[in-house]
Chain A
Amino acid sequence: MTNSNEVYTKSNFWSGFLFGIGLVAFIDEAVFHQLLHWHHFYDKLTTEMGLISDGFFHAFSWFATIAGLFLFSHLRRQKALQIPTWVGGIFLGAGLFQLYDGTIQHKLLRLHQIRYVEDVLFYDLVWNMIAVVLVVVGILLSVNKPKRENWEGIVNGGQ
């Protein structure tokens, strides 16, 4: 039973992780590109590497959103959902993507800035601090062993 549960724990984590990447990419696109118009589709400083990185992460996050939810549905069908692990995966996926976006894509590859104002440093700090908080919460949730076993006990009817 433990062996099988470990397999499910991994699946739960990866389902959440994929969905987390997709969720944060979606928020980035919907809120910062479309609603606030802070982010630019392309600015004149964007490097070629920035375009390549954006292309791959955009494609992957689109895929991850849908695949993550199908994996969630698959786990539910198998009665193997472990919600805390799944939520932990979401936080970790979202946090790591946000951190990558805020450091490598925005600063190193200059894909675009968070907002086109004089003091962008403030925005960068807030952005990356939120990312770090998400990562820490994600790690705490997905490595919290006793809680997970409790949950499994409930789902599997105390077997």
Chain B
Amino acid sequence: MGGNSYIQAICGTENMVNGSKFLLLPFTVLLIIYVIAALKQGKKWPLYRCLFFSLCFLCVGISSIGPLAIRSQVDFKAHMINHLLLGMVAPLLLVLTAPMTLILRTLPVFFARKISMVLRSFPLRFLTHPIVAGVLNIGGLWLLYTTNFYAHMHEHSLIHFLVHFHIFMAGYIFTLSIIPIDPLPHRFSFLYRAIVLIFALAGHGILAKHIYAHPPIGVPVKQGQLGGMIMYYGGDIIDSLMIYLLCQKWFGSNRVTIGRRERRQKALLQ
């Protein structure tokens, strides 16, 4: 893309980025609330969680405003880095900050009970089911990149905002359903979540290679190829962290069951 058309494109898309600022505004409020609540908890609340929340805020910020956000309107590679930050890194960091646990601990019992009732309601139980969350997350990406949705996104600022909101929320809910650091209304076994995660990773990898071969409408071939590779390998790095955290939970919880299993086996032999 020549310099002139790049400048034209940037001027034309300035409004789109302005739309994404709305994603950042509620997040600023949430960051302030989080830090105040964490300070109230004092030493009981680990400091690294505040750090993770700030880093999450930084990722959302970089992908919503500033040079990378503007560049991603015209450059598919920048768009992909943006997408990795907003849809994978930021959600994983947010999950690690355990925001629901903090809310439930900080609020008076009466309100905490009300909130946990909402969390146990059918719509939220449905949304946080690993398979539902996985389909929303990966299915949404397929819809975005294999239809003309991607082109439309750059024409309407409302669609642009909604797509970015969806990418972040779907990423968060999926990560939460696989690595439940916050209490979830349902618990699925390690194996169940592992299989869902492998399917989701496969869906992500297949889509990345599909983009390499068939870039979305309006994306130059070279950019599509590089974007696909960024998605494939960038996704791998964050996926390995998710797999590590999932396995670590299994490793930690199995410490207790060792003694139990040995006793059961002895009982079986007698």
Contacts and interface: CB of A to CB of B under 8 A. Distances in A.
Interface residues of B, number: 33
Given A42-B213, A70-B248, A74-B254, A7 B265 contact: yes
Given A41-B229, A67-B243, A62 B201 contact: yes
Contacts of A70: 247-248, 250-251
A122 interface: no
Secondary structure of the A contact surface, majority rule: helix
A41 B206 CA distance: 12
Interface string A35-47: 0000001100010
Nearest to A80: B258
Contacts of B269: 3
Nearest to A43: B213
A123 interface: no
A150 B160 CA distance: 65
Contacts of B243: 62-63, 66-67
Contacts, number: 73
Contact of A67 (B194, B201, B232, B268): B194
Given A70-B251, A78-B258, A62 B239 contact: yes
Secondary structure of the B contact surface, majority rule: helix
Interface of B: 194, 197-199, 201-206, 209-210, 212-213, 228-229, 232, 236, 239-240, 243-244, 247-248, 250-251, 254-255, 258, 262, 265, 268-269
13 contacts: A3-B269, A41-B209, A51-B206, A51-B209, A54-B206, A59-B204, A62-B236, A62-B239, A63-B201, A63-B243, A66-B240, A67-B247, A74-B254
